[in-house]
Structure 1
Amino acid sequence: MIHLLATGGTIAGEIDPEAGHGRYRAGVRPVEALLAAVPGLADAGPLSARQILALDSKDMAPADWLAILAATRASFAEPGCDGVVILHGTDTLEETAWFLHLTLPAGKPVVLTGAMRPADHPAADGPANLLAAVRLAARPEARGKGVLVVMNGMAFGARRVVKARCSGLDAFESTEPWQAARADGRFAGLAPDALPRVDILPGYAGAPADLIAASVATGARGLVLALCGHGSVPSAWLPALRAAHRQGVAIVRGSRASGRVEPDANADDSGEGWLTAGDLPPPKARIALMLGLAAGLSGDGLRAALLDCGG
């Protein structure tokens, strides 16, 4: 049996009657209505469904990740569960997928899907995505791949999938096909009540250093720097970053561009005590850092975990 967990999103959305066809409200339709709109779903095998959240995924928070994780683990523990499908908004779908990829054990498939058009759109893509996700979760070949994402007839591994475009059915892409994906689950034994705060700070021309102090003053235990180029740190940021490091804040140097940020290339990471994101984009580096901190890692342990995550 495939267990389906609904969290809201555009796939459950409807046009906002007050704003016209230019806007919609996410997470409006319950999961039962979504299932009823999918022709052929009954032929895909036995299915159970549960509504656990009803969010626009722009409002997804770490506490919600923990709720989804708990619900997925509970599904895994039920007799006869062959896999899990999670309905999710597309804005932060890649973040939830990566979080679950790091925190769920290898074995049973977990497939996330959503939609780029609301449920009452005349050419809604949600029903086809839902059916494709259920079918993939039921395939024996999907076992041991970790968390997968299905959108627009394509399937991707959580490690490299990104929402690359803000509109269009082909909004998601990856450099890795799902068949090449590998399970991770390095934090599968972790069961935190909450996750430590980690902020992402963007690098741009004239970015003020006081953003660093503000994050630290309001409780950030880690900072991921989404810097220009190969993780180029503005000179004006150095005093604030050093002060944050002295206060025990973990600092990860990443880039807003694609590609790897190598340790001690373009910055003295060893001397400053900074970490690097490898080829993880800043949102995924943030999640890896949050989990590493929640696991009590520091220093070389945190560095090793992040570099491994970063490929």
Structure 2
Amino acid sequence: MVSIKLLLGLGASLALASPIPAPPSPVLLGRETGHFNASRPNITIFATGGTIAGSAGSSDQTTGYEAGALGVEVLIDAVPQLWNVSNPSGVQFANVGSSEMTPALLLNLTQQVQAELDKPEVQGVVVTHGTDTLEETAFFLDVTLRFDKPVVVVGSMRPATAISADGPINLLEAVTVAASPAAARRGVMVVLNDRIASAYYTTKTQANAPDTFKSAEQGFLGYMLDIKPIFYFEPALPVGRPYFNVTATEADALPQVDVLYGYQGLDPKLAAAAVADGAKGLICTGMGAGSWTKPGQKALKQLVEEHGTAIVFSRRTTDGYVDTQSVGYGGGFLNPQKARYTLMLALNAGYDEEKMHALFESQSSSA
């Protein structure tokens, strides 16, 4: 294990925090080294930055650090146990805090991950990511990749230089899951803090604690015990999970969809302002099970009639189902950020009203 002192030094010398607007073609690192063993599965690690690659000035600093300061080679070298379970290779896709991830970057990422999954010699893929928007990237990958091989998104809540950094064990567990045949045909998974979860439902529930990614209603897929995955269920996918083919979609093609927050006495003019600024769709983060004020509903109806704006209602509560609304569509079990990407992808695919209803209402199907 690389020492804290070494990581601090590497953080200073390998600072790569500048955003990469158009990531280059993948550069694979590691598989050509003397560590290679043909009997182990080949796992490709796409590094995007975040806390797991973060560096701070001292080992007791867990906030105010520089996210995305360490390169993928450093992450792999810090966990030599990776070579016990896989032949890991690294792709430095980006090195940013996850708040800097964009739809354009996600399109590029999903296209690169798909190309890697299509290689017969690759058994699985891991994506390292900052936790603030990890669930958005994981969800986007889940609905835009066509695959059976394991895909795992992983991050950490403490920077690599922290005395109790959780990144190394999280990365080892993520690669172990990606290398496991039992992890196939389960969709994209999120692995942190010894838990294995479905990317479709998982959300960040706590701003600071390591035990943050959960799907309270749907539960976890499995647990890590002694760095070995134990799955609770046979392979299965979420009911109604869609697939959007974006292999040929250009970086700036996804339409603008904005999120509005519901509250007492909300300002109806904010919806019109978003549409005037270019929004083709709106996610209304409603109160309770998606409720919106009467003046707000009137403003939304006008936008639908005059501009054809697509409206999806979600909820500001942690969990719950949002049914069909008088204006627009109910977001089902999707939280606002996941409903946003679903609507963006559906608009890009040219879904009509019938397909939109089927898309969002399919989550309540028992078929």
- Please tell me the TM-score bracket, short chain as reference: over 0.9
Deviation at 1:157, TM superposition (A): 0.6
**What letter matches 1:262 in structure 2?**
D
- How many residues end up aligned between the 2 structures? 302
| Aligned match of 1:212 | 271
Superposed CA deviations along residues 119-149 of structure 1, whole A, max 9, x for unmatched, are 1111110000000000000111111111000
The separation in 2 between residues aligned to 1:187 and 1:80, in whole angstroms, is 25
| Aligned match of 2:90 | 49
Superposed CA deviations along residues 258-306 of structure 1, whole A, max 9, x for unmatched, are 2111225xxxx2xx3x111011111111111111111110201111112
Sort the Cα spacing of 1:289 and 1:259 in 2 relative to 1 into closer, same or farther, 3 A: same
The separation in 1 between residues aligned to 2:220 and 2:63, in whole angstroms, is 33
The separation in 2 between residues aligned to 1:276 and 1:218, in whole angstroms, is 24
Deviation at 1:176, TM superposition (A): 2.6
The separation in 1 between residues aligned to 2:165 and 2:258, in whole angstroms, is 35
Deviation at 1:93, TM superposition (A): 0.5
Greater shift, 124-133 or 72-81, is seen at: 72-81
Sort the Cα spacing of 1:309 and 1:65 in 2 relative to 1 into closer, same or farther, 3 A: farther
- Percent identical residues: 41
| Aligned match of 1:304 | 358
| Aligned match of 2:292 | 233
Sort the Cα spacing of 1:168 and 1:51 in 2 relative to 1 into closer, same or farther, 3 A: same
| Aligned match of 1:243 | 302
| Aligned match of 1:13 | 54
Sort the Cα spacing of 1:107 and 1:177 in 2 relative to 1 into closer, same or farther, 3 A: same
| Aligned match of 1:187 | 244
Deviation at 1:240, TM superposition (A): 1.7
TM-score relative to the length of structure 2? 0.79
CA contact (8 A) 1:90 1:163 kept: yes
| Aligned match of 2:321 | 260
Deviation at 1:78, TM superposition (A): 2.5
**What letter matches 1:182 in structure 2?**
L
Deviation at 1:98, TM superposition (A): 0.7
The separation in 1 between residues aligned to 2:279 and 2:158, in whole angstroms, is 35
Greater shift, 41-50 or 172-181, is seen at: 172-181
Is the aligned partner of 1:76 residue 2:135?
Answer: no
Superposed CA deviations along residues 234-270 of structure 1, whole A, max 9, x for unmatched, are 1121332122102111001121112111225xxxx2x
Deviation at 1:13, TM superposition (A): 0.4
CA contact (8 A) 1:10 1:114 kept: yes
CA contact (8 A) 1:12 1:28 kept: yes
Greater shift, 191-200 or 88-97, is seen at: 191-200
| Aligned match of 1:203 | 262
Deviation at 1:189, TM superposition (A): 5.9
Extract unaligned runs of 5+ from structure 2: 1-41, 222-230
The separation in 2 between residues aligned to 1:259 and 1:191, in whole angstroms, is 35
Greater shift, 279-288 or 255-264, is seen at: 255-264
Extract unaligned runs of 5+ from structure 1: none
Deviation at 1:79, TM superposition (A): 3.5
| Aligned match of 2:5 | none
**What letter matches 1:125 in structure 2?**
D
The separation in 2 between residues aligned to 1:81 and 1:61, in whole angstroms, is 27
